[in-house]
Amino acid sequence: MLDFIMSTVTVTRLFIRGRVQGVGYRAWLAREAGRQDLSGWVRNRKDGCVEALILAPSATLAAFIALCRIGPTAAHVTDIDTQDETIPASDAENGFTVRPTV
């Protein structure tokens, strides 16, 4: 019998709250993530927050979250909740995408 080992990666899910929809926050976040060569995605949620899944080294991630607390000019971020998760490496995004609202 062959043992199958699935490779996994740790990602961080962000839930960004405040005035973050209708102000270009998703596009801004995707652009900033691309500038920093991060992988993942961002989307609006029907509850009014912005959700992002980020794959980044911890030092880079901390600086990126600090930047997300500022956001684009028209945004006003009141809170960011984070959740670390492990996902199969095959599910990790290459590059950064904007996804539809859920």
- Does residue 69 carry a catalytic annotation? no
Say which DSSP state 48 is in: S
- Does residue 43 carry a catalytic annotation? no
Structure tokens at 89: 């490496």
Residue closest to 79 by CA, chosen among 14, 12, 18, 21: 18
Structure tokens at 65: 């979250």
Q: Tell me which of 19, 31, 44, 94 is the catalytic residue.
A: 44
Q: Tell me which of 13, 17, 19, 26 is the catalytic residue.
A: 26
Q: What count of other Cβ atoms lies within 10 Å of the Cβ of residue 2?
A: 4
Enzyme catalytic residues: 26, 44
